[in-house]
């Protein structure tokens, strides 16, 4: 276990925290109301693991299980769908609150707005969410996927009517290709949760869409514990999800925020490296970014999220594939009395990191620094189920590591 994780306690110089209002409670409430207008909407479960908490020496452990989201097995659709709605609202001079699902699919809206082509790059879940939302809302989607993507993930997107391919590029270069094509296409729109200078509005809307998941989790936690979490573990690729979750809870619990722990794949640990550098500037990780955590294989931080994270994260963790494999297996076959959770390669790494911190002597200093003990009430996000069933079975059933 000694070589499986690295971490950096956050000592970064704070900024003015100007991006935090993006994830304000009223903004997230708007996104939640939009998602609830879909006939397919239901809350995803918040699963309590009391036996696991006892085993790990914690007060409680809760898993927000996104494998049930809109029948797509992952959370990403929340961001893609809401950003599309915000874009259509802006183009037609409306507030998004006036565009619930039944209005968005109406003939009157089609006459006012027409049809756009939404471009994106994805390792799987985001593109599938964009394709699903485009199909439901009568729009077009073009999706580029990086080398190493499995055929299963591509077919999941193609079945939803999108134009999709796998390019001989890494994720970040696929993003650049999609942006170039969107700029050259009449009524073309780039829908990406990676922000950069000059491209921040749509990523902000995507983050707000992710806030629906965080809001659900906070409400469910209060219902079960009559309190709020002391620790929140969340994964990061470009950091949009982490920034959304942490931004929402930092706003919700501004007087007494939880401790926030962000976990990345070591092959693409741009946030960890940014934190370890200590100067507050984001770092970029290049190359092929080889990891089984396909959804986290992103080497360039979202600039909006980075501003939130450097002001509010307690610790940044860089995890090898073995950590998420541990998480997948422990959640799939928990202690007797606890319900199983199907968590995929990118979904299980926060829990894998928590389990490693609590059971490894090499993590004692981190464990003590974070105050992870019998009084800790821990909320963990599992952002996907078995989105690639063959790979999931190979890892969980057959004991393979790829």
Residue bearing tokens 């931080």: 301
- Rounded to two decimals, the pTM is 0.96
The upper half-sphere exposure of residue 314, i.e. CA atoms within 13 Å in the direction of its Cβ, equals 18
Judge whether 362 and 1 are in contact, CB under 8 Å. Answer: yes
Residue bearing tokens 């995890």: 319
Residue bearing tokens 């609830």: 36
pLDDT in tens, 320-339: 999 999 999 999 999 999 99
For the chain, counts of helices (H) and of strands (E):
16, 11
Residues involved in catalysis:
76, 123
pLDDT in tens, 181-199: 999 999 999 999 888 889 9
Q: Does domain 5-74+203-396 have CATH number 3.40.50.1100?
A: yes
Query: How many whole angstroms separate alpha carbon 10 and alpha carbon 33?
Result: 34
Asked if domains 5-74+203-396 and 77-194 share a fold, the reply is yes
- pLDDT-above-70 percentage for the chain: 100
pLDDT given at position 148: 87
> What confidence tier does 1 reach under pLDDT thresholds 50, 70, 90?
very low
Q: Which CATH architecture has domain 77-194?
A: 3-Layer(aba) Sandwich (3.40)
Whether residue 401 has pLDDT greater than 50: yes
Q: What is the DSSP string of 316-368?
A: EEEE-HHHHHHHHHHHHS--TTSPP----TTTSHHHHHHHHHHH-GGGHHHHH
What ranges do the domains of the chain cover? 5-74+203-396, 77-194
Closest C-alpha to 244, from 30, 22, 5, 8: 22
């Amino acid at each position: 276990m000694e070589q499986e994780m690295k971490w950096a306690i956050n000592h970064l110089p704070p900024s003015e925290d100007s991006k935090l209002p993006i994830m304000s409670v009223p903004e997230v409430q708007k996104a939640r109301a939009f998602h609830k207008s879909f006939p397919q909407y239901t809350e995803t479960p918040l699963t309590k693991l009391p036996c696991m908490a006892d085993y790990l020496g914690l007060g409680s452990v809760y898993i927000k299980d996104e494998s049930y989201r809109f029948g797509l097995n992952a959370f990403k659709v929340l961001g893609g769908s809401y950003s599309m709605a915000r874009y259509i609202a802006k183009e037609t001079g409306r507030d998004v609150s006036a565009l619930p699902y039944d209005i968005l699919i109406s003939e009157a809206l089609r006459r006012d707005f027409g049809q756009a082509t939404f471009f994106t790059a994805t390792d799987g879940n985001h593109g599938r969410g964009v394709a699903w939302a485009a199909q439901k809302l009568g729009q077009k989607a073009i999706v580029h996927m990086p080398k190493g993507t499995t055929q299963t993930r591509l077919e999941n997107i193609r079945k939803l009517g999108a134009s999709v391919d796998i390019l001989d590029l890494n994720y970040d270069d696929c993003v650049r290709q999609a942006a170039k094509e969107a700029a050259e296409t009449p009524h073309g729109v780039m829908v990406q949760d990676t922000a950069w200078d000059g491209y921040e509005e749509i990523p902000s809307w995507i983050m707000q869409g992710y806030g629906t998941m965080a809001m659900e989790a906070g409400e469910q936690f209060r219902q079960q514990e009559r309190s709020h979490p002391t620790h929140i573990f969340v994964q990061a690729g470009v950091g949009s999800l982490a920034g959304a979750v942490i931004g929402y809870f930092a706003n919700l619990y501004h007087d007494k925020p939880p401790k926030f722990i962000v976990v990345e794949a070591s092959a693409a640990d741009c946030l960890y490296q940014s934190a370890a550098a200590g100067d507050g500037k984001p770092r970029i990780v290049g190359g092929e970014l080889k990891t089984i955590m396909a959804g986290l294989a992103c080497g360039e931080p979202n600039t909006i999220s980075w501003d939130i994270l450097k002001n509010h994260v307690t610790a940044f963790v860089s995890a090898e594939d073995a950590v998420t494999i541990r998480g997948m297996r422990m959640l799939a076959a928990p202690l007797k009395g606890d319900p199983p959770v199907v968590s995929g390669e990118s979904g299980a790494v926060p829990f894998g990191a928590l389990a490693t911190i609590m059971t490894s002597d090499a993590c004692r200093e981190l464990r003590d620094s974070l105050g992870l003990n019998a009084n800790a009430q821990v909320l963990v996000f599992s952002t996907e189920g078995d989105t690639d069933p063959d790979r999931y079975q190979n890892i969980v059933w057959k004991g393979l590591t790829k």
